[in-house]
Structure 1
Amino acid sequence: MSYYQPWQAWFQQMMQYMQKQQEMIDQLTDKVEQLQSNEKPQTVIEKIEYHFDQLKIETLEGTLQIGLTPNGSDYSELGELYSNNHTAQAPIQHTLQDYMTTDIPQWMDRYVKDHDVSISDTHKEQIINDVRKQLPQRVQHYQQEYPDLDETTMLHRIQEEVRHSLGQYLNSYEGDGK
């Protein structure tokens, strides 16, 4: 046995170890390149200018979508974006809107007369419009909190909530100063 044998074995082991390390580096480099090539291109929007002062708006209703759809979704039509959210709420919303137009003004007239509250018709209309704007959120709240609640019960609860809230407001209202 020669004196250089252990050094040669050690040298050969180190060469094998380095070769395995080089193979691992090559594999990792290939994987990084593959991942970089699979990245989706980012959309970069540098500057958008809107000139709303050039628009003439007589009635503003609905939702205005400017630019890309939310979350980069690929809806082919804007209607598809909202169809799932509002179809379940449409009948109850319509009934509540009718309620706010027909029943609540009469209820408020009786309430202010019975409780001797001085309030102008303009202020009543503002209150009704404010409540009317909150109705979609209340329907959504009830649908999330009570998913098994039938539509009729939900409708009655929201109507009671509206009357109760209006009653509290009118009780705390100090009048128009007439």
Structure 2
Amino acid sequence: MMQQMEQQKQMIDQLQKKIEEMNSNEKPTTVIERIEYHFDQLKIETLEGTLQIGLTPNGSDISELGELYANQGTPPQDPVLHSLQDYMTKDIPPWMNQYVRDHDVPISDEHKQHMIADVRKQLPQRIEFYKNQDPEIDETTLLHQIQTEIRQSMAQYFENYKGDGE
């Protein structure tokens, strides 16, 4: 029994020494020698702005560069998209608040904002979808169709939603 205790004591001493060695050693540093970027694997959703590298267009003087940027207006925005963006800003938040109150849906304001942002991203595709379905569709009809679709989709989401925290 004494011999076993002596062996265990030796083993404990050895383990303590190893622990001390490990603690005293400096932690290894990570060296990053080379980073390779594979731009062909990136997904770009939106690319906006102007990139000028080297000479200015038409060999113009550098003093005219400010004029070059000033003359570049933003592209004309689709009036339906503009109206829908206004609708998402002014009409949908009060509608959502009323709907969740009437149907007792426990949802945070942050969650509602995420929903609105998600729908905003989809607006250009929905406009294209309806225009492709009926190329002769007038703007008012298109606007009302998408507004109705937004309200119906959100109402359906709220009906299936269990509430925040679940």
Q: Could you tell me the TM-score, scaled by structure 2's length?
A: 0.56
Measure, in 2, the Cα distance between the counterparts of 1:98 and 1:115. Answer: 25
User: 1:79-130, CA deviations, whole angstroms, 9 ceiling, x for partnerless residues?
Assistant: xxxx9xx75x611111100100110000000000000000000000000000
Measure, in 1, the Cα distance between the counterparts of 2:45 and 2:160. Answer: 32
Alignment of 1:83-98 (within 5 A): 87=76, 90-98=78-86
Measure, in 2, the Cα distance between the counterparts of 1:64 and 1:150. Answer: 29
Letter in structure 1 aligned against 2:81: Q
- Structure 1's consecutive aligned runs of 4 or more residues displaced over 6 angstroms after TM superposition are none
Q: Which residue of 2 aligns with 1:147?
A: 135
Q: Could you tell me the TM-score, scaled by structure 1's length?
A: 0.52
- Does the CA contact (< 8 Å) of 1:118 and 1:176 recur in 2? yes
- Does the CA contact (< 8 Å) of 1:117 and 1:170 recur in 2? yes
User: 1:126-165, CA deviations, whole angstroms, 9 ceiling, x for partnerless residues?
Assistant: 0000001000000011111111110000000000000000
User: 1:44-90, CA deviations, whole angstroms, 9 ceiling, x for partnerless residues?
Assistant: xxxxx7599xxxxxxx994259xxxxxxxxxxxxxxxxx9xx75x61
Measure, in 2, the Cα distance between the counterparts of 1:116 and 1:136. Answer: 32
Q: Which residue of 2 aligns with 1:160?
A: 148
Work out which of the two has the higher radius of gyration on C-alpha atoms and give 1 or 2: 1
Measure, in 1, the Cα distance between the counterparts of 2:37 and 2:165. Answer: 44
Q: Which residue of 1 aligns with 2:164?
A: 176
1:100 aligns with 2:88: yes
Q: Which runs of 5+ in 1 are unaligned?
A: 1-48, 53-59, 66-82
Q: Which runs of 5+ in 2 are unaligned?
A: 1-35, 50-73
Letter in structure 2 aligned against 1:113: R
Percent of aligned pairs with the same residue?
Answer: 57
Letter in structure 1 aligned against 2:114: Q
Alignment of 1:45-56 (within 5 A): none
Match of 1:149, SS state, is coil
Measure, in 2, the Cα distance between the counterparts of 1:151 and 1:94. Answer: 11
